[in-house]
Amino acid sequence: MSQGLKPSTDLSNRIARIYPSLSNGHRRAADFVLQHPLDVATMTIEGLAEGSGTSNATVTRFVRALGYGGYGEFRAALSAALKFAHEPVDNFAGARAAPGSTFATFTAALADQATNLQAARDSLDEAAVTQAVALLLKASRVFIAASGASHHVASFLEDGLALYLDADVTFASSRTGPERAIRHMMSARPDDLVVAISVPRYSRATLDLATFAKKRGASVLALTDSPTSPLAPIADVALFAPARSRLLPNSPTAILALADALIAAIARERPDAVEALKELSESLLWTFYR
């Protein structure tokens, strides 16, 4: 069996959006595509119809329901999705094959992070940063949604914001599982803020949680890699930091720097920040060894 189509591609996201409304025949076609993408990429429309136990007409209606003009356009989108899914593997193989020492690899990884950080700084928009800080300061509650490589960024942001905000700050999609995260989002109100963090390969769970909260009236602040991220269209404001890496699927370094900068900006804006930090320092006085 071929490896299933990744949930972070445009095609799989299109299927996910319309799947609940599909007919049984269309669902069989969708299931076959998701489970056998490599095979379908080389199949004719007749082959997909036979493989999914449907008909040519059903497949045609299915691809049009996805928003494609015809089967050829659908198959081109599938090829692009497969290329996206396998790109980190190809990059890793190419980087491993390139000549160089362990030290050269190490320094190149640091150079990648420096490039990402500079790109994040260059892409900053003053209005977006100002709006992001304002949303955090006025929110009654802040829910953070993240998974995968972004999980540690979310934990760091939760700790930092909790120190300086009056709002309740909760890492909604932490280790307690998706059911608990959904429960948090079900209580979302217009005076709440969701901070959604995701880099390629994007987390469908994070996107779904942010979308759900948005429908309930909450504002959404996205920390992601680029305007083409699926989080960008649903966010009230988005801050971008590249996550490119030659040897890894992605790198959260620049996104972590964005989180750190947000905490610093919040601390600067809070008039009682010095007192809050003083109280924390005094409470931890005997927990450090020096």
Domains of the chain: 10-88 (1.10.10.10), 118-283 (3.40.50.10490)
Task: Convert the pLDDT of each residue in 65-105 to its tens digit.
Answer: 999 999 999 999 888 877 766 555 555 555 555 667 889 88
pLDDT at 84: 63
Which residues does the chain have with pLDDT short of 70? 1-9, 84-99, 175-178, 271-290
pLDDT at 212: 92
pLDDT at 94: 57
Task: Convert the pLDDT of each residue in 205-219 to its tens digit.
Answer: 899 899 999 999 999
Give the chain as a 3 state SS string. Answer: CCCCCCCCCHHHHHHHHHHHHCCHHHHHHHHHHHHCHHHHCCCCHHHHHHHHCCCHHHHHHHHHHCCCCCHHHHHHHHHHHHHHHHHHHHHHHHHHHCCCCHHHHHHHHHHHHHHHHHHHHHCCCHHHHHHHHHHHHHCCEEEEEECHHHHHHHHHHHHHHHHHCCCEEEECCCCCCHHHHHHHHHCCCCCEEEEEEECCCCCHHHHHHHHHHHHCCCEEEEEECCCCCCCHHHCCEEEECCCCCCCCCCCCHHHHHHHHHHHHHHHHHCCCHHHHHHHHHHHCCCCCCC
pLDDT at 17: 79
What's the predicted TM-score (pTM) here?
0.67
Task: Convert the pLDDT of each residue in 143-163 to its tens digit.
Answer: 999 988 899 999 999 999 998
